Structures are given as C-alpha cells and as structure tokens.
Chain A
Amino acid sequence: MRYAETGYNLEIDLATGNIEKVETDPKLLETHLGGLGTSVKIHWDRVPPETKPFDPENLLIMSAGLFCGTPAHSANRTLFTFLSPQTNLLAYPMMGGFLAAELKYAGYDKVIFRNKAPKLVYIWINNDKVEIRDASHLKGKGALETQELIKEELNEPRAQVAAIGLAGENRVFVASIEQSRSSSSRGGGGAIMGDKNIKAIAVRGTKNLYLANGAKFMEQLQEVTDYIKFRNANPIPKVMTILSGIGSPQEMKHTDEKWHTESFAWGNARERRKSFWTEEVEESWTKLQLNTVKRLISCYNCPQQCGGLIDYKGVPAYMMKCFSKLTYAMGAYVDDLNFSFKICKQAFEYGVDSFSTPQILAFAVELYEDGIFTDKDFEGCPTDKEGRFFWLLDRLARREGIGDYLADGTYWAARRIAADRGDTRTLAYDHNTTKKHEQMNIKLGMLDPLYFLMYGTNEKLSITQIEGNWPQMPFGKMEDRIEFVKDWPQLPDEKFKQYFLDWEPRGEMGNPYYPTPQIASEIVDWMEQLHNIDDALGICAGMSSFCLKPPYHVHVFPKLISAATGMDVDEDAVKKIVNRSRNLHRAINILRGVKREDERPPQDHWKHRFPEIEENLLTTYYHYKGWNYDGVPTKERLHELDLDYVADELQRRGVLKDEQN
C-alpha cells in the first residue's frame, strides 16, 4: 500500500500514442519525497545535458505534490518541469487551482510526456481510462476558452483542465499553462506543451488516496488550521498590508496599491513613480476593483482567497490572481486600472506569463521610441499606450512581424534584433534579466545581501518563489523588532532572532554590510529549503515559504510527513531530502552551463553596487552550501547526500575536477 502518493505515474509517448501506467519505486519517497523532488530525479535519470528544449527527448512532466489530495490545507500545486526554451535550464513553474488533487484521485502522481504528437491533441485522464484525443478543432482557441470547451465536450463539469493558448501553440518562450484561476507561467512551459502538440490536459478522478495514519495527520493538521485562524485574525503590524496576512498576495481583496505602484518600476522595469498613488487614483482604483471583482475565490482546499472572479463590462467573465492586476498597466505606463481588467483577459487567453510579458512589450515600445524599431515595424499599431500594448501582445502571441523577436523574451529578442539589424544598441535594453529570464521590476538604492543571493543563485529564477519568511526590510524601531521576534515559532533556530534585532535600516549594521555574508547565507539557505519542501509537497508558498509567520514551517512538516506517509522523519531528515533534490537540480543546471558569473541580479537592480562584497557573498554562500568556487556541489557534499552517482557524472564530464573539489 502506498500512502500520500498514489505510487503510479502515467507515461505518455506522444509520437506513438503509447500510454502506460507505471508503478514507481517506493524508495523514491524516502529519498526525494515527491513533487519537484521526484520530478528532478526523473529529469536527471532520463534527459541528458545535450538535450535541447525543443528536442523530442525533452520531457514535460506534470506533477502533483506529495500532499496534494490529502486534507493538508493549500496543498494544491501542480508543478511542470521541463527544459526551458528561454533559459535552457530545468524550469519548474507551478500553479494552484484544482488539478493536482484531481490527478491524485485519478490514481497518478505524475504524467510524463515524451516526444511530440504528430498533430494537435488533448489528453483526457478519467481514472484508469486515458485517451489522446484530437484537438484540431481547438487550434488557436484561448487557454481559458479551451478549458470550458473541453469540459462541455466531455460532458464532465467536474474535470479540471490545464490548457495553452495561441502563445503556447506558437512556442512563445514566455507562454504559460493556464488552469482555472491559476497558471504555471515562468519559463515557458506553454511553449514546450505546444511544441509537443498538446493543447490541453483534462483530468477527472474518483479514486481513493490513502494516508498511513489519517487520524494522526488530522491531529497535526489541527495546529495548522488553528494557526491559520489566528493569523487571519491577527495581521502582522508594522508591515505593508500586502505582507501582513497569509496566503499569496491578496491582490483581489486589497485595494491599497501604494506600495506596489510606487516601489516597483514602471515601463520596461525602468522607473519608480514615487508619488503615483494620489487620493484621486486611490478612489477610482478602489471603486473599480470593488465593482469588478465579483467574488473572491480560492484554490483547492485553501481557506484563503487570492483569486477573483472578474466581471468587467464587455469582457467575458474570467479569473484573476496576484500581481497581474498591475503588471500590464505598469508596463504600459497606463494609470487607469480599467486597462488591466481588459488586457489581462486577452493575455490569459493567449496564455502568457504576466511577469515577463509586460516587460517585453515595454521593451518593444522603448526600441520604437528610440528609433531602433521603425514605423514600418509598427505599421498598423495604434498610437495610444493602451492600444499599442494590445497590438504588441497580439504580435507576440502570433509571432507576427516584430512579434517573432518579442516572443523569445527580452534577452533573446535583444540579441536577435542586434544580429539581424547590425545594431548592437539593443543589447542595453535587455537590462532586467538574470540567466536570460525577466526579473521582478524592482530598481532600488542599496545592495541587499539577501536578495543578491536569492536573485542570483536559486534554480527557480523567480524571486517571489525564493523569498518569504524573513522580512524584506529591517524595522526602524528596536521596540518593533522586539515585538516581532517575540512570537516567531517558525524559526529553525533561535539565533535568527538576534540577527533580526541587530539589523538596522542603515549604517554598519544595515545593507550592504549586514546581514554579513555568513548570516545572509544562513537565512537564504533556510528560506530556500522551505520553498523546496513546499515544492515537493505541493503546498502553496503563500501559506508557507512565501509569507511572514506562515502556518506551515520546519517544525510542523516532519510530523505531517510522518503521519501521511508512515515514514519516520525528523527535521534533519526532511532537510536532507530537500537538500538532496536541490543539489541534484543544481547539478542538472551546472551541466547545462550555469556559471558563477551568471549568478548575479541585473546590474541596475540597485544603484549602489559593491563588487567586493558581492564576490564575498557568493563565495561564502557557495561554501555554506557545500559547493566549490564555481558553484558546483563538491564530491563531499554529494557524498553526504547519497549522490555519489552525481559526483561521478560531474567528474566524468569534467565539471568537477579532483583537485578543486
């Protein structure tokens, strides 16, 4: 009997149409838990470093987390892993919504796709019945539209459907996979799905999922539930509203956008507008949002409600979540929230990443304004800001005209345009990417050691999925700090309290000198671990790693995992498992070319940079992680994590040399 996991993966060879239900090795639960952990292992075992993202051998794995389908609150993440067309690294964007649990109830932990279908298809997984169905009638349809059409066609309103839009079909590098109110967007999973000719994956499951000790699990979970209630009743004082609660940013509920609109950069991640949030703006935005968001909605088994059902005049109903409310408006320099509610629907139907895409469109506007793109390139484009963005979005999704450049993201677009037009000026416009991936639109003053490491080194490449439990900024007043650390059961170690008390807004005990490289490494390591645990279990980061004082933390996980699976794990054991997965992931990316010099946030991310401190940060952090000067896990570290086979491979490929270790 398998517990918490189903013990089966679905293997689909799209070229031959062969579908197999394959029992998985129970040992993998002990070594990699599930979700991201076990998916990374499959990629390591089966996809060699020579494989390119659009090769048939690139696997696309859709995975539920280990806790998805159990009563664990907010355990609903569906995780896609694939070689990203944008970064050429192993990407793992995930989405909330409802699909992961459904997949478990259908009897599978993962669906593994290999090769490409000869024509556009969709996959219908209904318990043991799995079909590859023709999707030619869905070609060109929107990602949201497709979900509804498939449910109707199958006459199964309870099916959960993940789908791509036109952008995915056209292999746009920032194409997302959309599902209900959620989307898996970073890194271009939609392009890989499109390349494999999969329009959608529909799932319905009515089977049992077993827990080793359900009663015990519920008892442990009660602690989490109680804490959710406590936190919902007690927002954290002294921080921005958006950071005060739990759950993913409650963007559909909160109307106060002073912080986002004034602290984040507008346009192509260019400038902050420090006096944007006037009373007038506040009034009109608030009114519109309250009138437009018809209902707040959650993901599977989550008491929070980060999503909103959008009812905007003239636009068919759709669902929105998170920061997409602002990214297009800010990218386009449009001060009117009406624009957001209009363009988001179009963007979600095309299926594109709401973080990268607005920056790419703004990049195109800059190139035009600076005379690199010509009137001919912009022929037919409306001249107003809103119309221009709609037009550019359309070009990008269709890969038409200059859209073909834009579809590859700012990094590649800048290089292709430079090459095609013999004009290297474009390269400078790609100023906000790390490892070829658009980063948050943040431009700040002083180098921040923690953020330097998180932006630079993590395999996820997306800051919102790395940061979390540690406050973003020091508190000015000592009394507030004392108050904050007083009740902080989430900490892995008491010493973190002192770190926080010592942290000053400026001076020697502030950025960039403090947290010191050693302390920064400890904090970042802790936060990364939390994210890795969440990603293995399929827990929403918003209820765990990505929020201040969350209900899930290092001290509750081992108890829950033990009760759910029947394994007997303590904190050290859990830590070791996720470290193993992280190092394996690291090894994959190292073999795919990640270098020390790639591990840095965009140059203009902070106005004041300190090359020496940055070098020291990187070296200290690598050392702390058990990696060598180049960021490669050492033989010893790999041995500790039972990854000798990885060390052998790194040595065989000459990435790890005996003498440098």
Chain B
Amino acid sequence: MSKIKKKVKTIKIDADKCNGCRACEIVCAGFHSTPKYDIINPARSRIQVITHRLKNIWLPVFAGEYTPAECMGRDIYVIDGKEYEECAFCRATCPSRDLFKEPDSHLPLRCDMCEDDPPQEKPLCVQVCLNDVLIYEEREVEVGEEESVDLAEVGLRSLIDKHGFDTLVDTMVRIAEKG
C-alpha cells in the first residue's frame, strides 16, 4: 500500500487549568454557523465542557466520530478520588446520549479542528481559551492511504440508522419533487 504524508492535529487538554468559562463552546458554535458567528448556541459546539463544579470536575471533551450503536458496556472513571460521569471521556456521537448532536435535527457533530479557508493558525477554541487549557500541536506522519468519509455522508448515515433507508429515500424523493 502506498504511503502518504498526513498532518496530525492534536489539542492537549490541561484540564486542571480549566476555569469552566465555556468560551470554547461559544466560539466553536459561532464559528460553525452560517454565516459565521451569526448564530450562537453552545449546544451545537463540537467541544463540550463536562462540568461538576462541586466535584472539581471541568473536563473539555471534543466531538469524535459518529457511531450508530452504543457500546456493549459502559465505563466510569475515578481519578484522584473524583468520579467522572459514565462515558465522560468518550468522544463519540452515540445514541446513548445527546452529547455532540444538533439539538433539533440530532445530526451528529464532529470536531474538524476548524477547517477554514484560508486556514486558521490554530483551532478557534484554542485561540479563545485564555487559560492555556487547550494547547495546539501539529505533526506530520506517514500513513497508508485511507478512505475519507465526508461529513454529509456521516450525516446521511446517521439518518439512515435512525429512520431506515427506505423512509429516507422516500422522503428525499418527496422533497425533490416539491422542488
């Protein structure tokens, strides 16, 4: 298999420094609205700060891949005596919870590390976090060629999972007919 060069973007999360301001959520939501920043709604952010203030838990989590089925089991982490909520560290858009879904359509959200044209120097959430919780790093690696899955496809797949293929096709035909 041929190798290609790929940029790996990493955000290091120094969660102990997080003060829980949620500025990262706000900017992410605004940046991904059309037109940019005309709509603000942190529920649509691709970063969510899981917060249990009295338990000293502030945990920024990024939206990862969509999964049609939930895991067979669950995990609960206890670190430093703090018990995190079920699946706290998981990035998946998963049927078991409403994290990382558009509030109305329930379409999955995924962190794109802020693709933009021209490219942003750093992801927006990193730029806005003035407490140095989110640290951006980039490196190049060689990987085997992989299939790229585009977001529209992920969205469609999630709708197929939810409503079934036939219903979806019917609906699309109906919409197309209406014009």
A interface vs B, CB < 8 Å?
A: 69-71, 73, 98, 101, 105, 148, 157-158, 180-181, 205-215, 217-218, 225, 228-229, 232, 294-303, 305, 309, 311, 316-319
Closest CB in chain A relative to B113 CB, distance in Å: 19
B54 touches A229 (CB 8 A): no
- Among the 9-residue stretches B26-34, B66-74, B137-145, B151-159, the one with 4 or more Cβ atoms under 8 Å from chain A is B26-34
Besides A225-B128, A318-B54, 15 other CB < 8 A contacts? A71-B37, A181-B53, A207-B43, A208-B41, A211-B40, A212-B38, A213-B38, A215-B36, A218-B36, A225-B130, A228-B130, A295-B56, A301-B21, A301-B22, A301-B26
A309 touches B56 (CB 8 A): yes
A303 touches B130 (CB 8 A): yes
Among B37, B44, B55, B56, contact of A218 (Cβ-Cβ < 8 Å): B37
Of the candidates A205, A225, A295, the one having the most CB atoms from chain B within 10 angstroms of its own CB is A295
Instruction: Give the residues in chain B near A213, CB-CB below 8 Å.
Output: 38
Residue of B with least CB distance to A69: B40
A311 vs B56: C-alpha distance in the bound complex, in angstroms? Answer: 10
Instruction: Give the residues in chain B near A207, CB-CB below 8 Å.
Output: 41, 43, 103
Please judge, given known A-B contacts A71-B37, A309-B53, whether A105 and B19 are in contact too, CB under 8 Å: no
A-B pair count, CB < 8 Å, reads 106
B103 touches A206 (CB 8 A): yes
Instruction: Give the residues in chain A near B37, CB-CB below 8 Å.
Output: 71, 211, 214-215, 217-218
Among B35, B43, B54, B128, contact of A214 (Cβ-Cβ < 8 Å): B35
Residue of B with least CB distance to A219: B37
A209 vs B41: C-alpha distance in the bound complex, in angstroms? Answer: 6
Instruction: Let me know if B162 is at the binding interface, CB within 8 A.
Output: no
B39 touches A71 (CB 8 A): no
Closest CB in chain B relative to A223 CB, distance in Å: 15
Closest CB in chain B relative to A142 CB, distance in Å: 12
Of the candidates B35, B54, B131, the one having the most CB atoms from chain A within 10 angstroms of its own CB is B54
In the complex, per-residue mask of B4-35: 1 if CB is within 8 Å of any chain A CB, else 0: 00000000000010011111001100100101
Among B35, B38, B39, B54, contact of A317 (Cβ-Cβ < 8 Å): B54
Closest CB in chain A relative to B169 CB, distance in Å: 30
Query: Would you give 10 A-B contacts (Cβ < 8 Å), ordered by A?
Result: A71-B37, A157-B51, A157-B52, A158-B51, A206-B43, A213-B38, A214-B33, A215-B35, A301-B21, A317-B55
Please judge, given known A-B contacts A217-B37, A229-B130, whether A301 and B23 are in contact too, CB under 8 Å: yes
Instruction: Give the residues in chain A near B56, CB-CB below 8 Å.
Output: 294-295, 309, 311, 317
B30 touches A218 (CB 8 A): yes
Among B22, B40, B58, contact of A208 (Cβ-Cβ < 8 Å): B40
B36 touches A303 (CB 8 A): no
Instruction: Let me know if B64 is at the binding interface, CB within 8 A.
Output: no
Among A148, A210, A297, A316, contact of B20 (Cβ-Cβ < 8 Å): A297
A105 vs B35: C-alpha distance in the bound complex, in angstroms? Answer: 19
Please judge, given known A-B contacts A70-B40, A213-B38, A214-B30, whether A148 and B103 are in contact too, CB under 8 Å: no
Closest CB in chain A relative to B23 CB, distance in Å: 5
Please judge, given known A-B contacts A213-B38, A296-B19, A317-B54, whether A303 and B131 are in contact too, CB under 8 Å: yes
Closest CB in chain A relative to B174 CB, distance in Å: 27
Instruction: Give the residues in chain A near B19, CB-CB below 8 Å.
Output: 295-298, 303, 305
A206 touches B20 (CB 8 A): no
Instruction: Let me know if B95 is at the binding interface, CB within 8 A.
Output: no
Residue of B with least CB distance to A302: B21
A298 touches B26 (CB 8 A): no
Nearest 7 pairs between A and B by C-beta? A214-B37, A206-B43, A303-B130, A206-B103, A214-B38, A298-B19, A298-B21
Of the candidates B42, B52, B103, the one having the most CB atoms from chain A within 10 angstroms of its own CB is B42
B27 touches A71 (CB 8 A): yes
Of the candidates A205, A208, A302, A318, the one having the most CB atoms from chain B within 10 angstroms of its own CB is A208
Instruction: Give the residues in chain A near B103, CB-CB below 8 Å.
Output: 206-207
A215 vs B39: C-alpha distance in the bound complex, in angstroms? Answer: 10
Of the candidates A206, A218, A229, the one having the most CB atoms from chain B within 10 angstroms of its own CB is A206
Instruction: Let me know if B115 is at the binding interface, CB within 8 A.
Output: no
A103 vs B27: C-alpha distance in the bound complex, in angstroms? Answer: 18
Closest CB in chain B relative to A110 CB, distance in Å: 19
Instruction: Give the residues in chain B near A69, CB-CB below 8 Å.
Output: 40
A208 vs B42: C-alpha distance in the bound complex, in angstroms? Answer: 9
Residue of A with least CB distance to B23: A301
Residue of B with least CB distance to A73: B23
Residue of B with least CB distance to A306: B19
Please judge, given known A-B contacts A297-B53, A309-B56, whether A105 and B23 are in contact too, CB under 8 Å: no
In the complex, per-residue mask of B47-88: 1 if CB is within 8 Å of any chain A CB, else 0: 000011111101000000000000000000000000001000
A210 vs B19: C-alpha distance in the bound complex, in angstroms? Answer: 26
Closest CB in chain B relative to A418 CB, distance in Å: 43
B53 touches A71 (CB 8 A): no
A295 vs B55: C-alpha distance in the bound complex, in angstroms? Answer: 11
Closest CB in chain B relative to A311 CB, distance in Å: 8
Instruction: Give the residues in chain B near A212, CB-CB below 8 Å.
Output: 38
A303 touches B54 (CB 8 A): no
A246 vs B67: C-alpha distance in the bound complex, in angstroms? Answer: 44
Closest CB in chain A relative to B44 CB, distance in Å: 8
Residue of A with least CB distance to B52: A157
Instruction: Give the residues in chain A near B30, CB-CB below 8 Å.
Output: 71, 214, 218
Residue of B with least CB distance to A294: B56
A209 touches B40 (CB 8 A): yes
Among B21, B33, B43, contact of A299 (Cβ-Cβ < 8 Å): B21
